[in-house]
Amino acid sequence: MAQRIAILTGGGDAPGLNAAIRAIGRRSLAAGDSLFGIRNGWAGMIGEGDVMHLDRSKLSGILQLGGTMLGSSRVNPMKLEHGIDEVMRNIERLHLDALVAIGGDDTLSVAARLAEQRARVVGVPKTMDNDLSITEYCIGFDSAVSVVTEALDRLHTTATSHHRVMVCEVMGRDTGWVAVMGGLAGGADMIIIPEFSVTVDEVVGHLEVRTRAGSDFSIIVVAEGVEMEGLQSKDAAEGARDAFGHVQLSRRGVGENLARIIEERTGHETRATVLGHVQRGGSPTAYDRIWATRVGAKAYELVVEGLFGEMPVVTNGTVDVASIADVVAEQRRVPRELYELAQIFY
């Protein structure tokens, strides 16, 4: 029986979102379903809603495009008076048989809340931070790591030419997956992440060891969410917070401040590079295109099977299923063994 299915993308944009939308949409349209796109994340399910009809022409040529054709936002219905009720009313008003929510912890937390109220919702994992539990794959992470890797390749040439310390600040609010994987692939000499505390003295000591070993340059990767003496804490960071309580961490200037401290303490000429939203932009890698397609296709299968409150996850190289609530129950953090591997290469 044909169904009415809607798709939304919430939170930060990430390469691979369009690949997932395309996979869900193509499966849906091939089955004769009516397909809709919710504009701008959960914002498009508030008030009168903001919905567009999707057909094959709108899904054509989007596989290789970054961002999201549906738009996104960080609107949180759980923080709005009667917000969840408005979402539920729009699901009913649009006569939706299913709503597919593609996003990270924030977006999926809303989906989990809706599922508690028996809404016909299915999730899809997307976060550049790679910090959703259970799943080994999140849309956008591989593309972000590729950007960091290329940036470090480029920073190496200028670091060696000018005998500098280069500090590269990358995304990672609470976890250091992008920093660790990008740093490993890009040959960083030191990687600093939120999971494992490092002092300024340890950073200085690391640079002294490299100098004694004959190295006249260093590449340090630091996640934007790192807490360290001498750096402004996340709680004290200035700027407005979004609806999920997050402050814009780029305003902390972790990379710039760490570079200043290093130069003051060591005398080494030090420069900082903040990759920022460059990590979100551009075309998805082949890996992200393939796996976003696979989890998107699986999400449609969950809709057909009526497995609401569930979402596709990747475990041991295969697409599996887990409840949305379980996926957002805790953060997936960088394990010590991976962090210690990164410390070998100094």
What residues are annotated to the active site? 129
| Helix residue spans in 306-344 (DSSP H) | 324-327, 336-344
Instruction: For residues 181 and 334, give the distance between their C-alpha atoms in angstroms, rounded to a whole number.
Output: 10
DSSP 290-303: HHHHHHHHHHHHHH
Q: Which residues are registered as beta bridge partners of 320?
A: 313
Instruction: For residues 56 and 259, give the distance between their C-alpha atoms in angstroms, rounded to a whole number.
Output: 50
Instruction: For residues 225 and 7, give the distance between their C-alpha atoms in angstroms, rounded to a whole number.
Output: 31
Instruction: For residues 35 and 96, give the distance between their C-alpha atoms in angstroms, rounded to a whole number.
Output: 10
Residue with tokens 């029986």: 1
Coil, strand or helix at 216 = coil
Q: Are 191 and 180 in contact (CB under 8 A)?
A: yes
Coil, strand or helix at 58 = helix
Joined tokens for residue 132: 């959703």
Q: Nearest CA to 135 among 320, 325, 291, 301? A: 320
Which DSSP letter does residue 336 get? H
Q: Are 186 and 344 in contact (CB under 8 A)?
A: no
